[in-house]
């Protein structure tokens, strides 16, 4: 029973449902290779998928280990599925030092897989640099001394790590090149995951401000952040639909159009002050996550 209980703790710390935000763009990038006339090496795909998953897991564990102060303050405002951490460390169920040590081990395992891909499968000179940039962004997102999450641009790094990076990596590992179209295709995913982080920060706004966690929302305030959110959602919608207008397989619109509609709905409510109602805000957070996943699914459906 003790083992099962601790296993449950570690699964909660991992925040497994949120791993889809990085896995789906990677799948889309891999499918782009076949769409472009290439051949997919499935061994490379599964090795890389394992490495990406490990990096995301280690990032989540690091966040739990180094955001204890903020999570403690935010606990007073109630738990949330989208912010405030799992509260596992705050409630004393697991120790932060142990979680941090495990994250080191997981990052190391991901690096070993990167070496296997580079030297074993000859995937190209950018194999390790791509993985290392993602690992550094994830490892130091919450961990001092860099702690991107309090610098005001951690949200942008998340857009890179869960938008452009997994999609570009999926293409590069199979073809040893990153086509110019990937830069544009990845924008809706990057911008929508940026919005996921931004709107989640509304839930922890008071606690983060009191704890000195100067993320983007704390720095610019709720009103300006709402404008930033809307600018990102409009840009994401434009770049997504634009690709289909230019000739990208139209079947992907089955997911892209709902993403555009939902994001517009969330933007209107946010501008109307829905962030002041915690129940409504949690709904908007969930819908923003759905928008991000739908943009990734739009590409997967189009490329299948």
What span, in angstroms and rounded, lies between the C-alpha atoms of 45 and 172?
11
Q: With the C-alpha atoms ordered 255, 260, 265, 266, is the resulting torsion angle positive or negative?
A: positive
Tell me the Ramachandran region of residue 213: left when phi exceeds 0, alpha when psi lies from -120 to 50, beta otherwise.
beta
| pLDDT digit string (tens) for the chain, length 304 residues | 676 777 777 777 778 788 899 999 999 999 999 988 889 999 999 999 999 999 999 888 887 777 666 666 666 665 666 665 666 666 666 677 888 888 889 999 999 999 999 999 999 899 999 999 998 888 888 777 777 777 777 889 999 999 999 999 999 999 999 998 888 899 999 999 999 999 998 888 877 777 777 888 888 888 999 999 999 999 999 998 888 877 778 778 888 899 999 999 999 999 988 888 888 888 999 999 999 999 999 999 888 8
* CA 266 to each of CA 9, 15, 224, 281, 298: distance values in angstroms, whole numbers, following the listed order: 32, 24, 16, 10, 19
Report the SS3 class of residue 213.
coil
In 20-126, which ranges are continuous DSSP H helix? 20-35, 42-66, 68-74, 96-115, 121
Using a CB cutoff of 8 Å and minimum separation of 24, what contacts does 44-47 make? Answer: 44/117, 44/121, 44/123, 44/173, 44/174, 45/170, 45/173, 45/174, 47/113, 47/116, 47/117, 47/121
Over the stretch 237-290, which tens digit does the pLDDT of each residue have? 999 888 887 777 877 888 889 999 999 999 999 998 888 888 888 899 999 999
Q: Are 172 and 123 in contact (CB under 8 A)?
A: yes
Q: What mean pLDDT is reported for the chain? A: 86
Residue with tokens 């991992």: 14
Cβ neighbour number for residue 49 with a 10 Å cutoff: 18
* CA 222 to each of CA 12, 174, 275: distance values in angstroms, whole numbers, following the listed order: 29, 42, 8
What span, in angstroms and rounded, lies between the C-alpha atoms of 130 and 119?
15
């Amino acid at each position: 029973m003790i083992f099962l209980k601790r296993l449950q703790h570690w699964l909660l710390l991992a925040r497994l449902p949120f791993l889809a935000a990085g896995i789906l763009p990677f799948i889309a990038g891999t499918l782009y290779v076949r769409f472009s006339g290439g051949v997919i090496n499935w061994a490379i795909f599964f090795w890389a998928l394992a490495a990406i998953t490990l990096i995301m897991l280690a990032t989540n564990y690091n966040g739990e280990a180094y955001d204890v102060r903020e999570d403690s303050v935010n606990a007073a405002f109630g738990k949330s599925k989208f912010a405030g951490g799992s509260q596992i460390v705050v409630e004393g169920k697991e120790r932060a030092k142990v979680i941090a040590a495990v994250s080191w081990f997981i990052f190391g395992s991901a690096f070993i897989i990167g070496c296997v891909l580079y030297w074993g499968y000859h995937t190209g000179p950018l194999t390790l640099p791509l993985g290392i940039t993602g690992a550094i962004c994830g490892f130091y997102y919450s961990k001092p001394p860099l702690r991107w999450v309090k610098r005001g641009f951690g949200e942008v790094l998340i857009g890179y790590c869960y938008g452009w990076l997994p999609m570009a990596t999926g293409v590069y590992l199979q073809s040893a090149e990153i086509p110019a179209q990937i830069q544009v295709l990845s924008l809706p995913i990057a911008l929508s995951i940026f919005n996921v982080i931004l709107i989640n920060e509304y839930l922890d706004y008071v606690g983060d401000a009191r704890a000195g966690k100067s993320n983007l929302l704390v720095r610019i305030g709720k009103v300006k952040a709402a404008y930033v959110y809307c600018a990102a959602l409009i840009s994401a919608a434009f770049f997504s639909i634009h690709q289909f207008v230019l000739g990208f397989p139209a079947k992907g619109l089955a997911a892209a159009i709902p993403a555009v509609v939902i994001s517009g709905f969330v933007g209107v409510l946010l501008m109307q002050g829905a962030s002041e109602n915690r129940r409504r805000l949690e709904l908007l957070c969930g819908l923003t996550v759905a928008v991000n996943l739908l943009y990734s699914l739009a590409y997967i459906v189009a490329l299948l």
